[in-house]
Amino acid sequence: MANQTTSQLVPISDIREGVVMLKNGSLRMLLEVSSINFELRSADEQVAILQGFQRFLNSVDFPLQIVVSSRKLDIGPYLKTIDNIAESTENELFKIQVSEYARFIKELSSLSNIMSKKFYIVIPFYIYEKPEAAGLIQSLKGLINPKVVPKKLTDEQFGTYKNQLLQRSELVYSGLVGLGLKIRTFEDEELKKLYYELYNPSK
């Protein structure tokens, strides 16, 4: 198999108007979803949440992807802020308390990895085309030599497919908000930054 560049391995061709465009012509919309502390809820509340989530899943007639991103939390900036507060205060007792708190946080982070978790819903829209013999052969060849040529969408096509995605995202939004979750969408620059960090986890 011929060597592939990094850009060939990344399936994204463009990000436009809050929509991720893949090289195969399909589209994705991303929603960030807040979390709830399920364990702290009463038994009745837990049952209500589970039943609500079941109703939400049954109401969706298209595929969804639920993504959980876990990363080690960088507490360096937080500790620096605490140190600055300790240095700027003139109250000696408060300064001691802040310093002890900073020391506790440092010891805690050295004993265990403090992780941050973010939750995302990926909503897809696939553009189905009529299969042809030539297309099938080309697809099989693509398994051996995976060189994907980005499919171009006209402005009219993009607008139509984007509206379909928006309808799906509104359905997801209403279903999850009913469970007490907070949902937010992404601007183009936020999406670019998010995908860059996902493909470069050490950055």
Helix axes 76-88, 92-111, angle to 10 degrees: 160
Q: How many domains does the chain have?
A: 2
**Are 19 and 100 contained in the same domain?**
no
Non-local CB neighbours of 185 within 8 Å, separated by 6+ positions: 18, 29, 30, 31, 32, 169
For residue 103, the enclosing domain spans: 74-113
**Are 160 and 193 contained in the same domain?**
yes
Tens of pLDDT along 30-61?
Answer: 999 998 888 888 999 999 999 999 999 999 98
Q: Measured between alpha carbons, how far apart are the two ends of the chain, in Å? A: 29
Residues in the chain: 203
Tens of pLDDT along 3-37?
Answer: 555 666 778 888 999 999 988 888 999 999 998 88
Quote the CA–CA distance of 190 and 16 in Å, as a whole number: 11
**Are 35 and 124 contained in the same domain?**
yes
pTM exceeding 0.85: no
Tens of pLDDT along 83-120?
Answer: 888 888 888 888 888 888 888 888 877 777 777 888 99
Quote the CA–CA distance of 79 and 61 in Å, as a whole number: 47
